[in-house]
Amino acid sequence: MVDVVKRLQKHMREKKIDYSILYNFHAQNINENFIYLSKFHGVGVLVVPKSGAAILVVPRMEQQSAEKAFSKVVARDDIFAFVSGKLRSGMRVALDYSSVTLKGSSLLKKKIKAKLSFVDISDYLSSLREVKSAEEIAIMKKACKITEEIYYETFSHFDEFERESDVAAFMTALANSQGLQLSFKPIVASGVHSSEAHFEVSDCKLKKGFCVIDFGIRYHNYCSDMTRTVFIGKPKKADLLLYEKVLKVQLECLDMVKPGVRCMDIDLHARKILGSDFCHGLGHGVGVGVHEGPSVSPKSKHKLVPGNVITIEPGVYLKGKYGIRIEDDVLVTAKGKELLTKMPKHLLVVEK
Ligand SMILES: [Mn+2]
C-alpha cells in the first residue's frame, strides 16, 4: 500500500504545488489531517515537498514522541524560521483550509517572508482519508475489538450501575486503564433521555425503558464508534416490536453495503421504513476523525469503494418517550463488506 504522504506528493505534482504545510499548534485542538499524514498528535508543522522526504518540525520538548511517529523529524525552537527557510517567493503552497484559523494565517504571513500563493488541500485530504490502507484497517479492527470488549465488560456489570454517569465512568475508566482516550464524549441516555438523539450523559438515576449507549475509543489515532441499546426493566410487547424493527432495518442496510452502492440509497432504505422518527443521517465515515467522509445521508451521492469504513446507525426517537439506536462500523471490501463491530444485537434486558 502506498504511503499517504507519497499519494499527496503525486497530487501536488499534478497540481503544480511546491509545498504542503500542515500544522497542529495545540495538543488539545487536534488537526485530523495533520495527524493523518504525520501519525503524530502533538504540536508541530509537517512540511511536505512535492518530492523527497517530508519533514516533521517540532519544538524540542516534542522531539522524542515525534520520532516514534514519523520518520524524519527536525526539532527547533523557532519552527517557523525553519519552515520559512524552505520557501521562496512565487511558490505555490497548499494549506489545510479546514483547520487554518485567522490567528494561524496571520502568524504564517508574519513569519514567512516569501511571497507565496496559497491553495486549499483540505478537500483532497478528506477524499484521501475516505479510503483506508491495509495498515489503517488493521488499526481500526483493533480499535473496534477493544470497544467491544469494553461493552461486554460493561454489560456484565450493568445491574451494579445506579446512574447514567456510572456507566459512562466505567466505560471511560476501562479505556483509560489501557492508555486510551475516547473518540467522543460517551452517550448514556436512559428512559426519556434516549428520545434525544444527541443526549450525552447525566448524573440522573438510570431510568426504566430503553437506554442508548454510544461509545468509541481512539486507538493509534483511529476512532471507533458503536451504539447498543439495552432495556432496563420489563419491556412491553410494543417495545420489543419497535426494537426488532430498528434491528431489522440495521441488518438490511448492512446487507446493502458493497462497492458501487450509493450511500443515499442505503440511507433512503432506512428512511422509507423508519419514517420521520428517524431524524439523522444513517451513518458516516470513521477514521482519524470520528465523523469524516463519506457521509451516509439522503444527499450523499458517494458510491462505496473498497477501503471505505462507515457506520450504519439507524434509530427511532419518539419525542417525550424514548429512543433506540443500533450502530456498527463496517468496512467496504472488494467483494462486499466486513463488520468491524460484531457484538450481538439481540435486545439485552436488564432487570432492575
Ligand atoms: Mn456514529
Query: First and final CA of the chain: distance in angstroms?
Result: 51
Q: Compute, in angstroms, the gap from residue 349 CA to the centroid of ligand 1.
A: 23
Q: Compute, in angstroms, the gap from residue 297 CA to the centroid of ligand 1.
A: 12
Full-model pTM: 0.94
| b/e per residue 10-35 (b: at least 16 CB within 10 A) | ebbeeeebbbbbbbbbeeeebbbbbb
Q: Which of 224, 227, 229, 256 lies closest to 240, judged by CA?
A: 229
Q: What residues does the ion ligand 1 have nearby, CB within 5 Å? A: 225, 311
Q: Compute, in angstroms, the gap from residue 179 CA to the centroid of ligand 1.
A: 22
Q: Compute, in angstroms, the gap from residue 96 CA to the centroid of ligand 1.
A: 24
Q: Compute, in angstroms, the gap from residue 48 CA to the centroid of ligand 1.
A: 32
10-residue averages of pLDDT along the chain (352 residues):
86 98 82 94 95 96 95 94 93 94 84 92 97 96 98 96 98 98 97 94 96 98 98 97 98 98 98 96 97 97 98 97 98 98 96 82
Q: Compute, in angstroms, the gap from residue 239 CA to the centroid of ligand 1.
A: 23
Q: Compute, in angstroms, the gap from residue 62 CA to the centroid of ligand 1.
A: 32
Q: Compute, in angstroms, the gap from residue 293 CA to the centroid of ligand 1.
A: 12
Q: Compute, in angstroms, the gap from residue 226 CA to the centroid of ligand 1.
A: 7
Residue 2 is predicted with a pLDDT of 64
Q: Compute, in angstroms, the gap from residue 27 CA to the centroid of ligand 1.
A: 24
Q: From residue 191, give the alpha-carbon distance in Å to each of 201, 203, 209, 314, 327.
A: 12, 13, 5, 18, 19
Which domains are delineated in the chain? Answer: 4-129 (3.40.350.10), 134-350 (3.90.230.10)
Q: Compute, in angstroms, the gap from residue 282 CA to the centroid of ligand 1.
A: 9
SS (H, E, C) 220-238: CCEECCEEEEEEECCCCHH
* 228 contact partners, CB below 8 Å, separation of at least 6: 151, 155, 213, 326, 327, 343, 345, 348
| Residue pair 194/211 in contact by the 8 Å Cβ criterion | yes
Q: Compute, in angstroms, the gap from residue 305 CA to the centroid of ligand 1.
A: 20
Q: Compute, in angstroms, the gap from residue 184 CA to the centroid of ligand 1.
A: 10
Q: Compute, in angstroms, the gap from residue 310 CA to the centroid of ligand 1.
A: 9
Q: Residue 52's Cα: distance from chain center in Å? A: 30
